[in-house]
Amino acid sequence: MYKVMIVDDELFAREGMVHDINWDSLDFTVCAVAKDGLQALEKYQETLPDLIISDINMPLCNGIEMLQRLRDQGSDVQIIFLTAY
């Protein structure tokens, strides 16, 4: 089973992605949820997800900055950006 992390500053978006998608049927499990890029970077080190689904426009550290920091650390994690910005 693959691990996915959900990153979004909007509570309803996070909860929707976690609860409204049948992750088991896709062979995924939600390993972490974060409200911004900084929290996601911390949780990434703890959980090492295979996929990150992230918003772009977030406080403290946006999705693009988060991706750059992950790449700078040598991570090749796959990322899908979702945004209404």
Res 42 pLDDT > 80 = yes
SS3 content of the chain, % helix, strand, coil (to 5): 40, 25, 35
The pTM assigned to this predicted structure is 0.94
Mean pLDDT computed over 74-81: 97
Q: How many CB atoms lie within 10 A of CB 8?
A: 25
Q: Read off the pLDDT band of 85 (50, 70, 90).
A: low
All structural domains of the chain: 2-52+64-74 (3.40.50.2300)
DSSP three-state, residue 74? coil
Only one residue has tokens 């990322």, namely: 79
pLDDT of residue 84: 79
